[in-house]
Amino acid sequence: MLSKIFKSLASLRLTVVCLALALVLVFGGTIAQVHLGLYEVQARYFRSWLVLWDLPGSKMGIPIFPGGWLIGGVLLINLVASHITRFQFSRKKLGIWLAHLGLIILLSGQFLTEACQVESLMRVEVGETKTYSEDSRKLELVVIDTTNPDRDDVVSIPADNLANSKEIRHPQLPFALRVKGYLPNALPTRGGGAQPGALKSSQGIGQQIQFAPTAVTAAMESENSPAALIEIVGDKGSIGDWVVSPWLTKMSSLGRLTEWLGSDASILATPQAFACNSHNYRIEMRPTRYYKPYTLKLIEFRHDLYPGTDIPKNFSSRVHLEDPTMGESRDVLIYMNNPLRYRGDTYYQSSFEPGDRVSILQVVRNPASATPYLACILITTGLLIQFMMHLFTFARKNSAVAAVPVADARLARPASNFDQKEKRL
Amino acid sequence: MKKWLPWTCLVVFALWFLSGARAPEPKNKFDLTLFGRLPVLLNGRIQPMDTVARNALLSMRGKSTVRAVGNTLSATEWMLEAMTKPELADQRKVFRVQAPELEGLLGADKPGLNYYAYNDFTNQLPQLQSQIQTLAKSEESRDDAAKNRTAYQKDLMHLYSSLMLYRQIKNSLQPEGCVDFPADIAAYKAALGPAMTAVRKQDVKEEFDKSAMDRLSPLFHEFQDMASVAYPLAVPPKAGDAPGNWRNIGASLIESARTEEIHPAIPFLAAIASSYAKNRPQDFRAAVAGYESWLQANNLDASVQKSRHEFLFNQLEPFYKAMVVYVAALILGCIFWINMSESVRKTGVMLLVLGFVIHTLGLGFRMWLEGRPPVTNLYSSAIFIGWGAVLLGLILERLFKGAIGLVASSLIGFITLIIAHHLSLSGDTMEMLRAVLDTNLWLATHVVTITIGYSSMFLAGLLAVIYVVAGFFTSRMSQPVLDGAAQSQDLGNILTRMVYGIVCFSTIFSFVGTVLGGIWADQSWGRFWGWDPKENGALLIVLWNAIILHLRWGGMIKDRGLMAMAVGGNIVTSFSWFGVNMLGVGLHSYGFMDAAFPWLVAFVASQVVIIVLALMSERFWASFKSASR
């Protein structure tokens, strides 16, 4: 029984079915990008077990196709199983053996990447020194203890947790955070009266600005800006409530908010702070930060154009890397196709802000980043060996048909059927 | 006759190709070659006047020549005329209008493909303008508006940009309507000193000579207008300037107000303009030759040489000529299939080799001019796909002398070069590469490998089409053919082995190319794989090949199944090559892309028909019938 299951897991038919399903999925996922955008398609088609079809008018999704993880997973099992059972390590099969080993490494590496890769951005201005990178798609609620002037103690809570929590307690905090309201996507509004569903607070900026719910967006270019109303409850009762939102912290949103407020923008300058047990705290919701054990300072950003055009020729950032623990202190030039790799992080020149003063570096941490390179070498070698062997037999003629295990003998009939009539035509 | 037919054909076509290297005869005694190879800066690169003229005319008219009463104008001649004799140029029919509604608006008497001269719609200009303004206004708020234009709107915008370009060209060598440019410049130079002194005095509130300023003012404004519209940057950088610091003539003259010196190139350029305008071939020649030697004497020899080389490349027209030779080879291959005359096949193969040599020369010349690997944009990918397929086809023809490789590769060579020609209509084919693409390492590895993958997919697909069509309608597939080892096998068997072998070849290149692409992505933005449409397109080819090979190894498909799958490979490859660019996701949609969409659909439909034929029962196949008879 067990061997039967194993045999079917290793079957060539399963391989073909998986490949065909993958083909359909990739094609569908490409066409779907026209309407859904790249990010949404990745989540729905490729980084999922099942592709769901939203039943119109409801929130229910009906599975209609296997997703990327399912197909890839089954294909990986199929590969490993057939690698164990069918492929002998012989000279004749060496190429096939190597190529499929490479494929196993490639697929496993991609699964590992999906699971472990952390992507973030570092926005750094000329002359500025940065110790962290940020992920603007992943937000965190932070309570910062600012009592000690020399350092800040940060308690971070993933913002996604707020959606389903009533009250949050943290061992480092002498108070509880009570979630009085949460909006997955919010727009700031002003003006008289309480608006239905809008968040308004008794303390901080939420007194002047309300946050009204708005439709959740799925497009790649736009991100959701949630808002939450948090009440701080100490031992002696409520200290007050504050509205937190990336509108108040994220560079791009803050810029828009400042512009919208016009002359009243000064209200944004006051931090949302409170005191408890003779400690001072600040509360905000911001893009998740990843602190580094070293610092990067942007010395120069260049954005070169081809003469007489506005076609970009080059973007580059000259940064100074300072790492006391490793004794590193050096300048590095990061430019297109030439990233900085340091202590598991890779920094790529990703973008810049108008004015050429601000460089945006993409920071990727991927423990499996070497697997494609290894896989590429193995598969290329394997395929070359295999097809070279075919080519030799093919060129030698004698067994070209044998290179195809099952050839249709019907058309390979001897030449006796040559039709004389045809020749006269 | 049989003996010398191949060699005669070869020599005739080779001579025809080489004739392009000769400088064209002076026309009306004007040496246009000298002018055509003068260097200017446009699109971020040094190029000859000839290239500027060709690309401008191609984008306006769709052809690189202008037909006039009694003669045909080359692109350079037309541009020089537009620059210096606008009243004549306004009568040339260089504006292509295709949409019937737009033609109606212009008052065309018969619809269809029509060319218009500038003078033809002087009366309709206000109406055109208001139409364009309405369109622009309605599109203001929508980001994707350009994608959703109707045929009429597209044509309207094309006409609009052609008119703008025409106006730019008219103001590139001298201000439009200028009677005597050298005299204007002399007057400007004379007025500069006193006028500038007056300006400085005015600034410190001293008494100043207002009449000196008034003398300069009209010329200054004229040059200012010219500076704002001129097309190529014709004035080279001054000694000590950055090498990319070219300016247009107007801008250079405006700058003279600051330096109070006229750039030394300007008198030459002005003399070129006025001598052509006033019909003085001798002066024209002297001015152009004088300018060229001035450039060479002033550290600009590299630009002069580069421009001359590109001019020669334009004159040779290697891709157009390779295309014609391929057509000849294709016809001979088809004739061979009918009369089975070996000398016809031999002639065809020789022409295919010649076409391939010309194709290779063109490709190599282009690479040398650009300093880049062969494929840098969609245009050059078409050229390279054809090149790769012809090379493979030649190898096949050497192995099996049945004209299969000959017909298949000359057909692919011809079609891809036609596609390349249409892609060239959208502008400069040697455009500069955006920052992320500016890497010869990855262009040479990833792009080349993946493109060879495309070549082989199309070749396998076309061989399969030949198998299906010939097998279904004729008994050819069951007939014996002498192969390389003088063994006789039937044609169907040989084609099966060819297709299988090429699919294997294609698998290697597509796979390695795709993984290299991933590694490039990892190098440039830290993601090995991002499910971007172009990446997915490459992956589809790999998956398709993997399916074919596994089906074959598992005995799940036999010959006809293999052929059906290989024809399907044509669909997958054309989607990957062109289809993903039409999705408009993260990529710009070009003019040709809209026109190409129905063609792509037609191609896919034709391939589906072939697949259906391939899967029909053997009872319907002429080859099976004759084989079992």
Give pLDDT tens digits for B413-456: 999 999 999 888 877 888 888 777 777 788 888 999 999 999 99
Instruction: Identify the helix (H) or strand (E) that includes residue A4.
Output: helix A2-9
Considering only CB atoms, B531 lies closest to which of A46, A119, A423, namely A46
The DSSP output letter for A44 is: I
Contact between chains at A119 and B500 (C-beta distance less than 8 A): no
Partners of A93 in the beta sheet?
A: none
Query: Which of A44-48, B2-6, B568-572 is predicted least confidently?
Result: B2-6
- What's the DSSP call for residue B233? B
- Shared-domain flag, residues A283 and A143: yes
Residue of A nearest to B621 (CA): A411
HEC-encoded secondary structure of B403-430:
CHHHHHHHHHHHHHHHHHHHHHCCCCCC
For residue B90, the tally of other CB atoms under 10 A from its CB is 17
Q: Do B485 and A13 touch (CB under 8 A)?
A: no
Residue scoring higher pLDDT (B178 or B569): B569
Q: Give the percent of chain B with pLDDT over 90.
A: 46
Cα–Cα distance for residue pair B435/A86, rounded to 1 Å: 47
Question: Last residue of a domain, which of A342, A364, A386?
Answer: A364
Distance in Å, alpha carbon of B530 to nearest chain A alpha carbon: 8
Q: Which two tokens stand for residue A60?
A: 């229910």
Q: Is B508 close to A339, i.e. CB distance below 8 A?
A: no
Please count the residue pairs, one from chain A and one from chain B, whose beta carbons lie less than 8 angstroms apart.
Answer: 226
3-state SS track over B520-547:
HHHHHHCCCCCCCHHHHHHHHHHHHHHH
On the question of pLDDT at B482 being above 70, the answer is: no
What's the pLDDT score for residue A402?
A: 37
Q: Is A179 contained in some domain?
A: yes
Same-domain status, A281 and A141: yes
Q: Is A32 or B112 the better-scoring residue by pLDDT?
A: A32
Q: pLDDT, tens digit, for every residue of B165-194? A: 999 999 999 998 888 999 999 999 988 888
Q: How many CB atoms sit inside 10 A of residue B402's CB?
A: 23
Confidence at residue B261, expressed as pLDDT on a 0 to 100 scale: 87
Straight-line distance from the first to the last Cα atom of chain B, in angstroms, rounded to the nearest whole number: 39
Whether A205 and A296 share a structural domain: no
Strand partners for B45: B42
Could B525 and A348 be called an inter-chain contact, meaning their C-beta atoms sit closer than 8 Å?
A: yes
The per-residue pLDDT for range A265-318, each reduced to its tens digit, is: 777 778 888 888 888 899 999 999 999 999 999 999 998 888 878 888 888 999
DSSP three-state, residue A353 = coil
Provide the residue range defining the domain that includes A151: 135-289
Residue in chain A lying closest to B546 (CA): A19
Report the pLDDT value the prediction gives residue B593, as an integer from 0 to 100. 62
A50 and A160, same domain (yes or no): no
CA distance B498 to B600: 26
Distance (Å, whole) CA B459 – CA B412 = 7
Q: Beta strand A273-276 with A118-125: parallel, antiparallel or unpaired? A: unpaired
CA dihedral sign, ordered B173, B175, B180, B182: negative
- A chain contacts of residue B143, beta-carbon cutoff 8 Å: none
Q: What is the pLDDT of residue B542?
A: 95
Q: What is the pLDDT of residue A405?
A: 37
Torsion of CA A75, A80, A86, A87, to 10 degrees: 110
Decide if A119 touches B, using CB distance below 8 A: yes
Q: Is the pLDDT of residue A375 over 60?
A: yes
Domain segments of chain B as ranges: 181-262+290-300, 317-432, 446-629
Chain position carrying tokens 């009369």: B339
CB contacts of A113 in chain B (<8 Å) are: 528
Query: To the nearest 10°, the Cα dihedral for B442, B448, B454, B455?
Result: 180
pLDDT band at A97 (very low <50, low <70, confident <90, very high): confident
Residue A359: its H or E element: strand A358-365
For residue B488, list chain A residues with Cβ-Cβ distance below 8 A: 415
Is A423 contained in some domain? Answer: no
Say how many C-beta atoms besides its own lie within 10 A of residue B418's C-beta.
16
| pLDDT exceeds cutoff 90 at B245 | no
- Please indicate, yes or no, whether residues A221 and A109 belong to a single structural domain of this protein: no
Does the pLDDT of residue A400 top 80, yes or no? no
Q: What is the mean pLDDT of residues A40-68?
A: 84
A419 lies in some domain = no
Please state which of the ranges A230-234, A378-382, B199-203, B606-610 shows the lowest mean pLDDT. B199-203
Confidence of residue A194 (pLDDT cuts 50, 70, 90): low
Same domain, A199 and A260: yes
Most distant CA pair in chain A: distance in Å? 109
CA distance B248 to B221: 15
What is the Cα–Cα distance from A364 to A369, expressed in whole angstroms?
A: 10
Partners of B479 on chain A (C-beta within 8 Å) are 415, 417-419, 422
My answer on whether A166 and A251 are in the same domain is yes
Site from A13, A30, A44 to mutate, B interface, most B CB atoms within 10 angstroms: A30
Tell me which of A397-406, B26-35, B480-489, B492-501 is least confident: A397-406
User: Distances in Å between the alpha carbon of A186 and those of A199, A217, A289, A338, B531?
Assistant: 9, 11, 22, 39, 30
Query: Average pLDDT, whole number, for chain B?
Result: 87
pLDDT at position A412, please? 36
CB distance B344 to B336 below 8 Å? yes
Q: How far apart are CA A399 and CA A403, in angstroms?
A: 7
Tell me the CA end-to-end span of chain A in Å, nearest whole number.
62
Confidence check: pLDDT of B409 > 60: yes
Region B80-99: what's the mean pLDDT?
A: 89
Indicate whether A401 pLDDT > 50.
no
Using alpha carbons, list the distances in angstroms from residue B165 to B64, B131, B135.
15, 19, 19
Please check whether residue A231 is in contact with residue A168, taking contact to mean a CB–CB distance below 8 angstroms: no
Q: Which of residues 29-48 of A touch B (CB under 8 A)?
A: 29-31, 33-34, 38, 41-42, 45-46
Contact A305, A313 (CB under 8 A): yes
pTM of the model: 0.85
* Residue A226, min C-alpha distance to chain B (Å): 26
Across the interface, of B496, B504, B524, the residue whose CB is closest to A348 is B524
* B503, B551 Cβ separation under 8 angstroms: no
Same domain, A215 and A154: yes
Q: Which residues pair with A99 in a beta bridge?
A: none
Structural domains in chain A (count) = 3
Beta strand pairing status for B480-482 and A153-158?
Answer: unpaired
What's the per-residue H, E or C state across A93-131?
A: CHHHHHHHHHHHHHHHHHHHHHHHCEEEEEEEECCCEEE
Q: What's the average model confidence in pLDDT over B58-68?
A: 86
Asked if B558 and A372 come within 8 Å (Cβ–Cβ), the reply is no
How much is the pLDDT for A104?
93
pLDDT of residue B483: 47
Please report how many Cα atoms fall inside a 13 Å half-sphere around the Cα of residue B575, on the Cβ side: 23
Residue A269 touches partner B, C-beta closer than 8 Å: no
**Residues pairing with A238 in the sheet:** A233
Q: How far is A332 from chain B (nearest CA, A)?
A: 16
pLDDT of residue B144: 60
pLDDT at residue number B29: 80
Both tokens assigned to B86: 């606008």
pLDDT single digits (tens) A351-372? 888 888 999 999 999 888 889 8
The ipTM, to two decimals, is 0.86
Residue finishing a domain among A336, A364, A392: A364
CB nearest to B478's CB, from A315, A369, A411: A411
CA of A383 vs chain B CAs: smallest distance (Å): 6
Asked whether residue A410 is assigned to any structural domain, the reply reads no
pLDDT at A327 over 80: yes
